[in-house]
Amino acid sequence: MKPEWSKILLEAGAELEGERVLDYGNPELERSVALTGDVLCDLSHQGLIGAYGPETAEFLQGQLTVDVPALDPAHSHLGAFCNAKGRMLADFRIFRRGETWFLRLPREQVQPTLKRLSLFVLRAKVTLEDADDALVRFGLSGPHAAEHLGAALGGPVPGAVDDVVHHQGATLIRVPGVHPRFEIYGELEALTHLWEALNVRAAPVGAAQWALLDILAGVPQIHAENAEAFVPQMTNLQLLGGVSFNKGCYQGQEVVARMHYLGRLKRRMYRLHLPLEAPPPPGTALFDPQVEAEQPVGRIVQAQPHPDGGVEALAVLQIASAEGGHPRLGAAQGPAAEIRPLPYAFEAGAGEG
């Protein structure tokens, strides 16, 4: 995080832990406001990988689940980087700014992902780097987020999810959310002015509240604990536009395509409510008392406290156990999980075969 940006956050009342904003003094109130009001959230806890060079699009096309050459500067997508077995090493949001492609992903996943991607560069004319200091970034969400953003910039804002607008030094990306929601990237000066203009219209909140909005939107984020645990379809990434089934070969494509075309998906991601005060970490196992007691039927993707009590979570579960309504956290007799609806529908026939 740039020192100048850190100073702005501290002056706004931020409690920092490394690169992460914990809260602005009242996390309980922030949780409630995040679901009903207009909020700002620093995204410095999210890392960036930058890729540039004359063969960047071709290189990334051979590694990622998204159709990279089809992504013009006016569009962004979720996507994944898989191993040869089709298991996700990382997921990300990819967008283009100028001549550089950026992958936004959890900060702790940047170095492992860079290391693995770099193994495949060989003679390709592409440079990969940790782009943490390249761009300041924050999020805006709320019922009036689009109007506030348009008024602050004096220009258009993205109208649909995955649309991108570049205006006055800022890159604006519309992302899924319970309300209109945006990720905003840019140079320090441009985003400082924009933050100050929006800070009088929206309340700043900590990183956990942005993660809660991801959970409610059904958007997964793969942390280190779940690296290589899931095929993309298990996290519903294909339902969010994060997998192209019409592009050429990439790492793990054969496994991903076979699961799609043969309809053998036996696990997928669900939204859960858990009667807990503290969220379980990513990778925590879920069990079904009606199956073998020591055999997990799923694992937590991410979880955060909900303002109405308990914890909201995304979890990958065996479809049979989820539809039977029996998943429990940590052990066969652990806390019972209530399955709640996601804001999108599953494909017809998923889990058959």
Tokens read off for 122: 């060989």
In this structure, the dihedral spanned by the alpha carbons of residues 16, 18, 21 and 26, taken in order and rounded to 10 degrees, is: -40
Specify the CATH number for the domain of residue 277. 2.40.30.110
Asked whether residue 84 carries a pLDDT value surpassing 90, the answer given is yes
More confident residue, 353 or 132: 132
Residues 208 and 283 in one domain: no
Asked whether residue 349 carries a pLDDT value surpassing 70, the answer given is no
Residues 112 and 177 in one domain: yes
Residues 151 and 276 in one domain: no
Domain final residue, candidates 169, 195, 224: 224
For residue 320, the enclosing domain spans: 263-340
Of all residues in the chain, the percent with pLDDT exceeding 90 is 85
Residues 6+ apart with CB under 8 A from 3: none
Whole-angstrom CA distances from 349 to 103, 244, 267, 297 are 32, 19, 13, 20
Residues 198 and 278 in one domain: no
3-state secondary structure of 156: coil
Specify the CATH number for the domain of residue 7. 3.30.1360.120
Mean pLDDT of 325-349: 89
What local confidence, expressed as pLDDT, does residue 351 receive?
40
Mean pLDDT of 38-54: 97
Tokens read off for 162: 């995955």
226 Rama class: left (phi>0) / alpha (psi -120 to 50) / beta = alpha
How many domains in the chain?
2
Give domain status of residue 311, yes or no. yes
Residues 69 and 212 in one domain: yes
Which of the four pLDDT bands, split at 50, 70 and 90, describes residue 352?
A: very low
pTM for the predicted model, two decimal places: 0.94
Which of the four pLDDT bands, split at 50, 70 and 90, describes residue 287?
A: very high
